[in-house]
Amino acid sequence: MPRRPRSRRPVAAPTAMPTLPSVDVDLLTWAFSQGPLALAIHDAQLRYLWISDEMRRLFGLPDEDLRMRRLTEVFPDAFYVQVEERMRSVVKTGEASHRHVRRILPGEQSPRAWSVSLTPLKDEKGNVRALCAVVVDVSDQYWARRWLAMLSEQGMHVGTTLDVTKTAEELTEMIVPAFADLAIVDLLDSVFHGEEPPPSLPPGPVALRRVAHLSRTIGTPEAGVLLGEAEAYPEYSPPARCLATGRPVLSGVDDPAFLRWISHNPRRSAGLQQYGMRSMIAAPLRARDTVLGVLVCLRSRAEPYTDRHLHVAEELAARAALSLDNARRYTRERSTAVALQRSMLPRRLPQQSAVDVATRYLPSLSADNRTSVGGDWYDVIPLSGARVALVVGDVVGHGVHASATMARLRAAVRTLSDVGLPPDELLTYLDDIVAQLSAESDSEVSGEGEVGATCLYAVYDPVSRRCSIARAGHPPPAVVLPDGTVEIPDLPTGPPLGLGGLPFECAEFELPESSVIALFTDGLIESRECDVETSMTTLCSALTPPVPSLEDMCDTVLKAMLPTPPADDVALLIARTHVLDTDRVGTWDVPADPAAVAEARAQALRCLREWGLDELGFTTELVVSELVTNAIRYGRPPIQLRLIRDRTLICEVSDASGTAPHLRRAHTYDEGGRGLLLVAQLAQRWGTRHSSNGKEIWCEQPIRRAEGP
């Protein structure tokens, strides 16, 4: 069966190209000659064949002065020699060239940017017969890219720290020489010190302080004000005008107010005249609708400032003002933390006879050169019985929260020490306090998080020369014996404060007279450069050489341990021990018999006569009688009476009972209850101190010392 033939679609005939209407040669000539493009045609020998009106305007010459002449024949300077070399290369290679150049046109002062395109004109065989030069004014695009690059650089290099002075210096370093020959940053005094600036400036001259300036000339000789100096800018001066209006001010040698302001300061006038500063821009430094100061940019180059530069200066100042305001706010916060920290640390060490003390506190310095206050602290607390407590502690974190927590812990330590607790029991109570503070802190609301701390608590008794120490996650102290030997006591390691439920242990050892004990926080020995063992070895070496005083010893230790600013807070306390001579202490055992009270009074009076304290005999008799009677009646033997002549007269009565008496007011018909009230009225201080063997009731009476000649 024959196959059915396949049907084929008809093929469409090709559509003829429309015929374009011819363009008159005159129209083409008019379009190229009168259009906005600067266009010129050169022959193969680089001679002008044809030039547009825009190109003729750029050269500022008539057509007859250019026709059939080469570029260098009309303008024989180095710039056009280079242009002609590129034109010759285009004719030779047949490849187009595109360049960007900057030139100052005749009659203008500011340079303009141009895009120059050189295109070879070839015939049908590909031979270069002529060259077409097209010049397009791209000044706006050029300056826009340049200023955007500068603003981008400002974001990366200005405000890298939270220091007002450093931020101002970074701003001047970025501006010179790209935008100015001399850059100046003047701020209000309140901003310089981290305080809140006034909401508005009062009328009249504006007082500003020079914070930073930089010049293309070494040493900034053009500046009329030295760094750190303050000057009052008159109302007519450009800086004062820009602050009054809130807008940048363009000024220069053509402005009478500028010349008047320059002549107001002879030093500024001499410097600017010598170095030829001709134009300036003063831009206000404003952040969050608050005036901080002024940015002044001056130029001595041939290109003066124009209105185009005002927007750039305004944007530079606005961005820099935000960084300066952030630095100012940090300075204020740090000043608050420093003030709180200093107020919580001992301003004056208390007078006591057990030890001589020297202390140091150094805040940390972070990687971006910010000084940060933390929670390290030290304390010296006089205790009963001529003893003294030496304390160092460290609260985790920095800032106001750490300082406030440190203050609460220091107050707690002082309160607990007054009770007379041994070091291990005191740390147990302090551990509970830290746990409570951590539970009270709401991290979701305040961002404070948990509270952590370490502490070392030492008690030294100058009568027995015994030192009791307990530590909670803290580095052990270093002890320098009188022969110069340095030892690190082997102390039990307690957990940091706040963990709860873990015990603390106390170590006790004897210290010879004139021993030195150094207590410190971990910022002194912990660093990235070396491990703790190496740091402890360095510390022992620094404590070994003899020095004239404890103050010199502190300086020697800090110099050896901290060659660079510390990355963490450092608290250092160095104490030299003393011993009370036996002739200043009287101790007697008292039988548990009421008849022994009279003998105890007599022994106390004989001791006072030997010390030359007969004027205290009457009150001491009453105190001894009441305390010994209470110990015999309510306590348990053995009973002991001790008198200590220190800065005060100390009377102590101890017994083996753990029951502590308390002060109460006796009623009219009560037969007892007036003893402790009488002691409290006669003594300067009194209290109860518990020990492993019982308790001690003590009181102190002031000693009136005879005036010297």
Q: Which helix (H) or strand (E) is 396 found in, with range?
A: strand 388-398
Assess whether pLDDT exceeds 60 at residue 671.
no
| CATH superfamily to which 143-335 belongs | GAF domain (3.30.450.40)
In the chain, where are the structural domains located?
A: 27-137, 143-335, 347-577, 582-702
Residue 454 is encoded by which pair of tokens?
A: 């370490």
Q: What value does the mean pLDDT take over residues 645-650?
A: 91
The residue ranges of DSSP E strands in 58-175, in sequence order, are 97-103, 112-122, 128-137
Nearest partner of 73 among 32, 95, 45, 109, judged by Cα = 45
pLDDT tens per residue, range 275-284: 778 889 999 9
Per-residue pLDDT band for 106 (boundaries 50, 70, 90) equals: low
C-alpha dihedral, 286 to 287 to 291 to 293, nearest 10°: -60
Percent of the chain at pLDDT > 90 equals 27
Q: Which residue has the tokens 């020095």?
A: 547
Assess whether pLDDT exceeds 90 at residue 474.
yes
Residue 484: count of CB within 10 angstroms of its CB: 11
Q: Which CATH architecture group holds 27-137?
A: 2-Layer Sandwich (3.30)
pLDDT given for residue 52 in this prediction: 82
Q: What is the CA radius of gyration of the chain?
A: 44
pLDDT given for residue 379 in this prediction: 93
pLDDT tens per residue, range 143-194: 666 666 666 776 677 777 778 888 899 889 888 888 888 899 999 988 877 7
Is there a common fold for 27-137 and 347-577? no
* Whether the model pTM is above 0.75: no
Q: How far apart are CA 392 and CA 572, in angstroms?
A: 8
| CATH superfamily to which 347-577 belongs | PPM-type phosphatase domain (3.60.40.10)
Residue 559: count of CB within 10 angstroms of its CB: 10
User: 138 or 591: which carries more pLDDT confidence?
Assistant: 591
pLDDT given for residue 555 in this prediction: 93
pLDDT given for residue 573 in this prediction: 95
Q: Which residue has the tokens 């200005």?
A: 158
pLDDT tens per residue, range 32-63: 667 677 888 888 888 888 888 778 777 777 76
Given a contact cutoff of 8 angstroms between Cβ atoms, the answer to whether 159 and 170 are in contact is yes
Provide CB contacts within 8 A for 52, sequence distance 6+.
32, 33, 34, 35, 37, 38, 39, 40
> CATH assignment of 582-702?
3.30.565.10
Nearest partner of 674 among 617, 626, 602, 611, judged by Cα = 626
Phi, psi of 9 (to 5 degrees): -75, 145
pLDDT tens per residue, range 686-704: 888 888 788 889 899 998 7
pLDDT tens per residue, range 387-442: 999 999 998 877 677 777 888 898 899 999 988 889 999 999 999 988 888 877 65
Per-residue pLDDT band for 610 (boundaries 50, 70, 90) equals: very high
